[in-house]
Amino acid sequence: MSALFSPISLGNLSLQNRIVIAPMCQYSAQDGLPTDWHLIHLGQLAVSGAGLLIIEATAVEPAGRISPQDLGLWSDETEAALTALRRTLRNHSSMPVAIQLAHAGRKGATARPWDGGASVSFGRGGWTTSSASALPFEPEDAPPVEMDANGIARVVKAFRRAAERAQNCGFDCVELHCAHGYLMHQFLSPLSNQRQDEYGGSLENRMRLPLMVFREIRAVLPQGFPLGVRISATDWIEGGWDLEQSTVFAARLKELGCDYIHVSSGGLSPLQKIKPGPGYQVPFAAHIKRETGMTTIAVGLITQPRQAEEIITSGQADLTALGRGMLYDPRWPWHAAAELGACVDAPSQYLRCEPHGVKDLFRKN
């Protein structure tokens, strides 16, 4: 039996296999609301045969978006729209769906990548950003506002309320975004956090806000409801956030009831020096799994079925996630199952497409 296609549980959620579709921003929302694009995009991924689909970074307040076109979950209107989207996906797929709750902090108010990604002016829908310290991401960016006690309390409340709304929407899992240089990561890294109060300085202080947010989310989710965290294991810059600090952070999260760690890297500074290659981030997930016993998701240039299989069979991670690879090949899990001799779910409308010579690829319900 293929290890990649063996079942696993996250909290009380059972997954049929260990392929995760990583959250990928689409920059296609309108005032935080999903559009027809999200239905097309997520619909095809929901029938891909993966074990879990994670919806893109979803802002917990309007000022928490990366771009003006980001998804949000901060109002009755956004909740109703995501509820309708989740209902449609469930009508045609039994695949569990998670939502990643996020706040961009100083990396917000930017244009979509295909529009250049530069800061957006107030007249074009931009806003004043906030962060752990008044340090811009790019030297030419306007400095963010250093968050005071009121700002911190507002963001904590926004995450808590968004987690409540996520349950109302019918999502099966929540992921807290602490990676890629966004607000929680900005508090974690000494490169972006130069505060002199209880939220800055020592590792314990820099972890304070992310751990506080996690506790608030955990408190409003039912017992057994899966809650995970995505982290950047390293800033790829000397003196920044690194693997050892990530391991301490993961251990603390485990104590608080975290169900998994989704291990990525980078995104905190344009000065990062990364040499990407096949599975280049997998050793980070392996280290955290080995040192903490935490269930881990490995991600980063995992593109081949046997590569993913080896990651699981060798114990480097418990699950593997694909992002861009799924965009390029939305049927990647089907092809992996065919190669590894496993079976996957498929819509009844597609059962006739089982390739000649591949027996029992599709699970018969």
Residue numbers annotated as active site: 182
- Residue pair 279/311 in contact (Cβ under 8 Å)? The answer is yes
Task: Cite the DSSP H helix spans in the chain.
Answer: 36-46, 76-92, 149-169, 183-188, 203-206, 208-220, 243-255, 282-292, 305-313, 324-328, 332-340
CA distance 262 to 198: 27
- Residue pair 285/272 in contact (Cβ under 8 Å)? The answer is no
What would the two tokens of residue 243 be?
């693997």
The DSSP string of 82-99 is HHHHHHHHHHH----EEE
Residue in the structure block whose two tokens are 């957006």: 120
- Residue pair 227/211 in contact (Cβ under 8 Å)? The answer is no
CA distance 217 to 225: 11
The DSSP string of 237-304 is STTSS-HHHHHHHHHHHHHTT--EEEEE---S-TT------TTTTHHHHHHHHHHH---EEEESS---
CA distance 294 to 297: 10
Using CA atoms, how far residue 326 sits from 249, 315, 322, 323, in Å, is 29, 23, 6, 5
